[in-house]
Amino acid sequence: MPPPRTREGRDRRDHHRAPSEEEALEKWDWNCPETRRLLEDAFFREEDYIRQGSEECQKFWTFFERLQRFQNLKTSRKEEKDPGQPKHSIPALADLPRTYDPRYRINLSVLGPATRGSQGLGRHLPAERVAEFRRALLHYLDFGQKQAFGRLAKLQRERAALPIAQYGNRILQTLKEHQVVVVAGDTGCGKSTQVPQYLLAAGFSHVACTQPRRIACISLAKRVGFESLSQYGSQVGYQIRFESTRSAATKIVFLTVGLLLRQIQREPSLPQYEVLIVDEVHERHLHNDFLLGVLQRLLPTRPDLKVILMSATINISLFSSYFSNAPVVQVPGRLFPITVVYQPQEAEPTTSKSEKLDPRPFLRVLESIDHKYPLGPC
């Protein structure tokens, strides 16, 4: 015989009962850490565009708070403008929506927890709040996409304005006719970022670009990856000691000179590369000089291997003659107007014989720059 149901048992079951949709909506708080954690568990998983706990996640919540304030302000203004007026019914035409929603111009979609089969994630969340969160996430992704496209359009204009942009076809044609090409250009002409992209656009798929420093490998790989629209792909990567983003799909790899020398030790003919770019070749140090000597011996055994030596306008003839009078493509640099301004140095009596550097003249120069070019809005 089953035990009788007591009031205490019913209260215990009611306590463990999941809240209804109405109760969940009444208790809903967007700023509650537990609420945000549940939403992040449902939408910001490891395989998603935004990962839980990442910097992008923090940026989203900042955007979400601003979006809420904007929507609340918009709603209050609308109520003040039309207080208590009944809304007129607008007939639908050809199954078009009655009211315009900004989401109609967003070319993105976000799968919800139920659609993604996320093993119960989000089951305790009200459907209305989940839909509201998805709309906010859509607006955030659309906003970020527009910002990225704006930066990319600006970047393409800057690329077209670089001095080396007029020499891209000439470099490729010279490389087609010769095994070794020397590209000489002043700092800022764009040779380090643009020449690898010219090779990629020409169809080369195994390009290595050496850099004398590890930080240059990382920064150039990120820059070239962004400019070539493979920022989140593996088409452009870097390889330094103890760290690598290179994969089987990588077409351009930035690596240090020392690492390339170690690869030559393992495979002297470097069969994995079609083109070798030796950047900053004018910087004379042991690794660079040794690499040039190895390449001079390697080229006769690899007639299909192309080598580009990129240098500043220093000792160009030295590198050209070392590789059997290799052709030189000289790229002019940018010239900026320079004005010399003399700052008077006040004669101040010295109380000690200290030879420490006096920072006051330099501080006066910085102050004059601050006065002439005031800080603009961030």
- pTM, to two decimals: 0.64
- Residue 175 dihedral angles phi and psi, to the nearest 5°: -65, -30
Q: Of 106-110, 174-178, 334-338, 346-350, give the range with the top mean pLDDT.
A: 174-178
Distance CA(295)–CA(285), nearest Å, equals 16
Q: How far is CA 262 from CA 105, 265, 330, in A?
A: 53, 5, 31
Burial class (CB in 10 A: 0-12, 13-18, 19+), 253: buried
Q: How far apart, in whole angstroms, are the C-alpha atoms of residue 148 and residue 142?
A: 10
Give the pair of three-digit tokens for residue 268.
């002297």
Nearest to 252 by CA among 284, 287, 289, 279: 279
Q: Map residue 152 onto helix, strand or coil.
A: helix
Looking at residue 83, its pLDDT comes to 61
| pLDDT higher than 50, residue 117 | no
Closest to 199 in 3D by CA, of 238, 271, 250, 251:
251
Q: Domain locations in the chain?
A: 27-75+101-161, 163-331
CA of 310: how far to CAs of 106, 282, 328, 329, in Å? 44, 8, 10, 10
Architecture of domain 163-331: 3-Layer(aba) Sandwich (3.40)
Our CA dihedral for 66, 68, 74, 80, rounded to 10 degrees, sits at: -120
- Which of 9-23, 40-54, 318-332, 356-370 has maximum average pLDDT? 318-332
Once rounded to an integer, what is the mean pLDDT over residues 65-69? 88
3-state secondary structure of 72: helix
Picking from 56-60, 86-90, 179-183, 287-291, which range would have the lowest pLDDT averaged per residue? 86-90
